[in-house]
A = this chain, B = another copy of it.
Amino acid sequence: MSHKKITITDVALAAGVSVATVSLVLSGKGRISQTTSERVNHTIDQLGFVRNRQASSLRGGESGVVGLIVRDICEPFYAEMTAGLGEMFEAQGKVLFLLQSGPAASGLARCFDTLLTHGVDGIVIAGGIHYLDEKMRAKAVEQGVPLICASRSGGTEGVDLVRPDNMQAAKMATEYLIRKGHKQIAYLGGLGNSLTRAERLGGFCATLLQYGLPFRSEWIIECDYQHRLAADAAEDLLRRYPKISAIVCHKSSVALGAYFGVLRTGNQVAGGSLNSLFQKQVALIGIEDSPELALTEPPLTAVSNSAREIGHTTARRLLLRLAGQNLETQDIIIHSTIIERGSA
């Protein structure tokens, strides 16, 4: 018993005007008299008419849909970036297709085709952008669909890219520790094949050099996303090199892990009240913030991840392209700020 769907024809009939008029009222384009406009609008919500965007975009206009391909929406960074994107687009009356590419290369290509077939106006690729190949690029150009990447690390050719300034973030973190008087600083976390990590390490090392501090490669420790390993690694590092007085943590989960690692060594995390003069204090700072870091005692200072801002900026950039602007491809770098919480 599905009530026959209401179309502009029905509206036109009921309002006693032509379909063309209804269409004009809908889009607010032609000059329509006050009275007609009101009458049409009235019949529209009397009949419960909903405009069919598929039909309108078929005829010529935009679809009002942008596609987002994200590797894994569960990663807080991408979740927040997605939220930022969504906010911005929804404010423009656009809506987001969300596809998850997963870890495999084939995922991206599959998502890409799906989006094209659905007639999106533009595509945002977030994460896993190294899988973006020339073939996809070409296809996007051919279809006239602008492409833009948002990622945690750099490295694409001929495509707009919005990303955090990993180097600057690490620099800020390191300088923060140095200004607090630390001279023996280690870097903990991330895996060797991570581009993001490479960039952050760059900032870390450069800052040490800049301040004339020693750089020791044994103080740069890999450890993967499993929290517990970060704690182990921190503990091990501190036991082996008791001189270390501060650690730059590759990401927030590592910072949290390191926090527990420090406690296990019997030392204190710097910033809290000094309970004992016999305990050494180790300072921690995280790159990429997360709410959990506010929780420890003392709470941990971190560098913001700027995920939401990256989302906003990406959306704005894509909107420019959609507006038909002919722009050079560009890397847009979003800076981070320090979120000081009292650890030092």
Query: A118–B263 contact, CB under 8 A?
Result: no
CB of A331 within 8 A of chain B?
A: no
Question: Of the 9-residue stretches A36-44, A78-86, A182-190, A238-246, which lies at the interface with chain B?
Answer: A78-86
Query: A139–B48 contact, CB under 8 A?
Result: yes
Query: B98–A51 contact, CB under 8 A?
Result: no
Q: Which of B52, B98, B144, B291 contacts A119 (CB 8 A)?
A: B52
**Chain B residues near A82 (CB-CB < 8 A):** 73, 98
Q: How large is the interface on A (under 10, 10 to 19, 20 to 34, 35 or more residues)?
A: 35 or more
Given the interface pairs A48-B142, A53-B117, A99-B96, the reply to whether A257 lies near B58 with Cβ below 8 Å is no
Contact code string A32-64 (vs B, CB < 8 Å = 1, else 0)? 000000000000000010111111011000011
**Chain B residues near A144 (CB-CB < 8 A):** 2-3, 5
Interface positions, chain A 65-97, Cβ under 8 Å from B, are: 65, 68, 72-74, 76, 79-80, 82-83, 86-87, 90, 95-97
Contact code string A289-302 (vs B, CB < 8 Å = 1, else 0)? 00110111101000
Bound form: Cα–Cα A305–B163 in Å: 32
- Among A2, A83, A257, residue most surrounded by chain B Cβ atoms (within 10 Å): A83
**Chain B residues near A58 (CB-CB < 8 A):** 52, 54-55, 58
Using a CB–CB cutoff of 8 Å, the interface residues on chain A facing chain B are 2-3, 5, 48, 50-55, 57-58, 63-65, 68, 72-74, 76, 79-80, 82-83, 86-87, 90, 95-100, 113-119, 139, 142-144, 227-228, 231, 253, 256-257, 260, 263-264, 291-292, 294-297, 299
